Amino acid sequence: MPKRAPLLLTAALLTLPLLGACGKRAPEDLTSKLLYTASGSYDAQADVRDRVNRSTRTVLWVEHPPLEAARVEVTYASEARQVAWTMTITAPKFTIGDVLKENPGAAQPAGPTPGQRFTGGRLKNVLVLPTEDGLRLLTRGYAVQRETALLPLFDQPAP
Rounded to two decimals, the pTM is 0.80
Q: How far apart are CA 81 and CA 48, in angstroms?
A: 17
Q: Is the pLDDT of residue 102 over 90?
A: no
E strand intervals along the chain: 48-53, 56-61, 71-77, 85-90, 107-109, 116-118, 126-131, 134-139
Q: Are 89 and 38 in contact (CB under 8 A)?
A: no
**pLDDT digit string, tens, across residues 41-97:** 999 999 999 999 999 999 999 999 999 999 999 999 988 999 999 999 999 999 888
DSSP 85: E
Domain assignments of the chain as residue spans, ordered by start: 39-154
Q: How far apart are CA 121 and CA 108, in angstroms?
A: 12
